Structure 1
Amino acid sequence: MQQEVSPVPSATSARLVRPAVVVVAALAVVAAALIAVSVLVETPDGSGTRLPGEVVTAVAPN
């Protein structure tokens, strides 16, 4: 009794699964980077976010 093992489905699924995992991981890294940048770009006076490199001219009240 001989079982036929078709290499095509496993090879195809391996070719599709690996890039999908890489894409999902890359999206997770991008999302984490955007969150980190949005937190780091918070203005010192707490008025909200600003663009990177933008000069903050507001002075916090004493």
Structure 2
Amino acid sequence: MSEYEFQRFWLPRTESRQAVRRLLTDAAEHHGWELDRLRLFPDGRRRVTLRRRVIRVRSTL
């Protein structure tokens, strides 16, 4: 079974859609995050949850 680590944050309504897209693309391409959940609230705020798989290295000592 896969284990994931999560990163949650809020984006203000003043952030444009283009800026949010750049932020999420950068997180995916350079840091290995993928979008788990994005919730857009009626007042324009966004709650974003990113996830990435935890890779455990087992030593063979």
TM over 0.5: no
Higher helix share goes to which structure?
1
More strand by share: 2
Higher relative contact order (CA 8 A, sep 6+): 2
TM-score, with length taken from structure 1: 0.31
Structure of higher CA gyration radius: 1
Superposition TM-score, scaled by structure 2 size: 0.31
